[in-house]
Amino acid sequence: MPSFLSDGISIAYQVHGQGRPVLCIHGFGSSGKVNWLDTGWVQTLTEAGYQAITLDNRGHGASRKLYDTQLYFAHQMAEDAANLLDHLGIRAAPVIGYSMGARIAAFLALNHPDRVTASVWGGMGLNLISGLADSETIISALTAESLSQVTDRIGRQFRIFADHNKADKAALAACMVSSREPMSEAQVRQIAGPVLVAVGADDDMAGAPEPLAALLRQGEAFTIARRDHMRATGDPTFKQAALAFLERHA
């Protein structure tokens, strides 16, 4: 994978296809490949005439692993995304983020409104503001000696996901400490660009999409039927809704 330096940190990325660029930002514990290639998103986007740009967030995939909890705030990772656009010579593009990637996309739209033409926030509803209370449980699951020691349901999900992806669990534990940086309601209201907020109907981690969409100046809510947080990522109806949204705001 090609890489570049963002504030001295090596960030890996890939560019797929030709056409209008779309930046895709993956979720916690995942990678560009796992979140976007393996779920069919890259194929969906390229067949629709887009150029899909994926990156591995710091601490994930082929990017540099960091163990300082102060280096994983969502607004810092949003700067990595902005720096990637600079590196590729892209002035502005739509951005699709899932879960932690949606939080990063939100800070990118807030801090660099001229770089983001439209946003799709998957797996992130009102908890963008209210935050999440299970970070310590997930950190304990990631730092446990083995999966057999993890009894919490959410903790087991994240540990199994990390083990499956052969992720650096120490780096992920450091990331979990600060990556869930909340965004205030006032900050959400500042985001002027169009945003699609898409959350699975059975997602008990993201928060409701409708209240978050209502705070946005151009917010739309979409419920991904019969999907929880983990299974909503590659859902065909989510992809169709995102493509239709991007086309309306081309």
Domain map of the chain by residue range?
3-129+183-248
Percent of the chain residues topping a pLDDT of 70: 100
Over residues 55-93, the pLDDT tens digits come to: 999 999 999 999 999 999 999 999 999 999 999 999 999
- Total Cβ atoms within 10 A of residue 131: 13
For residue 228, pLDDT over 80 is answered with yes
- Cβ-count burial 209-234 (b if 16+ within 10 Å, e if not): bbbbbebbeebbbbbbeebbbbebbb
pTM for this structure?
0.97
What value does the mean pLDDT of the chain take?
97
Encoded amino acid at 242, one letter: A
How many angstroms separate the most distant Cα atoms in the chain? 49
pLDDT value of position 36: 98
What is the DSSP-derived secondary structure letter of residue 19?
S
pLDDT value of position 103: 98
Average confidence (pLDDT) over 193-217: 97
Over residues 113-168, the pLDDT tens digits come to: 999 999 999 999 999 998 777 899 999 999 999 999 999 999 999 999 999 999 99
- The CATH superfamily holding the domain 3-129+183-248 is Alpha/Beta hydrolase fold, catalytic domain (3.40.50.1820)
